[in-house]
Chain A
């Protein structure tokens, strides 16, 4: 029954493939093409300039700074976010002990916590960033107010105005706004782990720590891995851009301490009217993102456990 097999499969695939090519592949090709031109973005005429944009990029301090910050976001943020989310999800689903006769439950009040964690997820990143902009206000923001209230009136950081703190402030906001999503994601993953495993572990006298590392984490590995890629892409792309654009000095400052690649793309295209250079940085961002996904997939590969 080989006859016409490809035609048959192709018939089904052709529409989605064409759509994918037009709306996904095509813009990538276009971007790469434009990165070899001197297109301003404000006028239809431009010419090819070879690798001029790329040599300029390699010479550009701001590019390297934003690359560094983006990489820091992509490495550190998933680590902390997923670590916290795993911890919270574990406590919410498995962490409690011996109540109502059930062997496996969450800690007391876990239903409430679940909602509390998920709450930031219903706010758009723009709103979250705006809220935190007020919280970080050094004069009448919540943070410095709290410091004063607990007797630390002498410690009044400038938060977003301080180049040593600004990047961490932005990271904290992204952490706050995304951790809830992963708590829910991991909770769902944990719900599909058979009870018997936990009961067996309990009978053997395993504590929470062992239960987590011997049972929960290995069985949840696939979810964690996709979560890692997803979080990394959030941190490299839109979410980091929005937070930096809305909250920081300049934006991107003070003194370039918070620029990230997507912000630099945006500024080159829409402020400096240098769309060609923006696409060049965009290509660099594409490469970084692909490398990130490839590395995570590669490092995270392990034997699949079946149950």
Chain B
């Protein structure tokens, strides 16, 4: 059955005049469409309504406007947000007329990306967590405020001292990308390494092993008792580098890691990398890895480890807070610097990876950048730092600030490990410079596969070198070099 619409009675097809009329109409629609599209993507409104800066005084060295609102967005992760709201209260005490707009979230990027695009970002952001915004891109696209004024401002506790002089080593450099400006203020100070229970080692009549033969011997001893030597976050194998990278630096010197960070050709083919990979692979081959590890996530692996199913886990100092509910009270948590290979290692035992965590940024287009920086200055005071440390069991970027508060076992061993390391603190940058390369390609596709026994060390190195070369060639990524 045909339709009965009247259209069919008309002559078929579209006439020439019709066609012209229609294409003109299409053009009329299309032209403003494209105009609106580009306007939409490049709207740039926020920059004009910046808050006026206030008068600079000794009490207000950054010239904060005492009436301008302050908006703060904090990542609500392992550290919670109480330390940040406490700091907000301090800010409010100093500037009572200010209205503070506080927001916590785990979805940093999905919530803030539109604001960056629209030019209305908040004044201070804790850019952390799984949805961290790519710092390289933010810097490259000039979206961040240079924090140098903050670093040169007098500290809260001692006006004779600049903020810059109260920070732990490496914090300022980590906030730089290339050149002098400091774009990021890392607020937490994380110690990475091999985490274990002192009690569990004592039960095996052992101490923390300092070379790889001792490590293997200890794992063999544990295996006889039905305890695995190691476990790791199998679903996020990019936790393995927390102990593997400083291990490699210990074997071959820190230049090896610098070359890797600089994406130099054949950086991964260094003998030290090979030795490190082979040592870890031996843990797999000898059956010292907790069974099922490649299929569990960080929480599950931490829980298995806390229950005593495995002795060691590569992790960062947040593990104490994150696993607080599953760690038994007699666990006696401790962090070990990576076990070395043998006496030919270039760096002494104690070489450890420690670096800033919780990156705070002040957007370039923030309405009240002085306020954002002032809030950071308050957070970097001794009192706020102590508050942070006692709340979340982590060190802060403020150097010191641990006297007079009772340190938890993990924190205490972290402080001891830093003291022992002295100058031998390494700081590989892959994880903040090249997120995809570090997590997905080196971590999941390389190390994860090797530790699950599906790649030999040689194959893993070849694969990872391929990824690193591809990243070095990729023009859509901004590249960085160690200074």
Contacts and interface: CB of A to CB of B under 8 A. Distances in A.
Contacts of B44: 44
Contact of A139 (B134, B292, B448, B454): B292
Contacts of B99: none
Interface in B434-483: 435-436, 439-440, 443-445, 448-449, 452, 454, 476
A126 to B, nearest CB: 14
Given A156-B291, A161-B235, A273-B134, A41 B448 contact: no
Contacts of A272: 134, 435-436
Contact of A137 (B43, B300, B440): B300
Contacts of B37: 29-30, 33
A42 B445 contact: no
A37 B41 CA distance: 11
Interface in B41-56: 41-44
Interface string A211-242: 00000000000000000000000000000000
Contacts of A55: none
Contacts of A274: 476
Contacts of B448: 249-250, 253-255
Interface stretch (B66-74, B111-119, B148-156): B111-119
Interface residues of A, number: 44
A160 interface: yes
Contacts of B421: none
A64 B236 CA distance: 23
B35 to A, nearest CB: 12
Contacts of A73: none
B109 A270 contact: yes
Contact of B137 (A2, A251, A254, A273): A273
Q: Which residue of B43, B435, B440 has the most chain A CB atoms within 10 A of its CB atom?
A: B440
Contact of B292 (A133, A156, A251, A273): A156
Interface in B254-301: 290-297, 300
13 contacts: A42-B143, A43-B137, A44-B119, A137-B296, A139-B292, A139-B304, A162-B294, A249-B295, A249-B444, A253-B445, A272-B134, A273-B134, A277-B476
Interface of B: 6, 33-34, 37, 40-44, 109-110, 113, 116-119, 131, 133-134, 136-138, 141-143, 234-237, 290-297, 300, 304, 309, 435-436, 439-440, 443-445, 448-449, 452, 454, 476
Given A44-B42, A272-B435, A277-B476, 9 more contacts: A40-B134, A40-B137, A42-B117, A44-B118, A253-B444, A254-B449, A256-B445, A267-B440, A270-B110
Question: Which 5 residue pairs spanning A and B have beta carbons closest together?
Answer: A138-B292, A161-B295, A161-B294, A43-B141, A273-B134
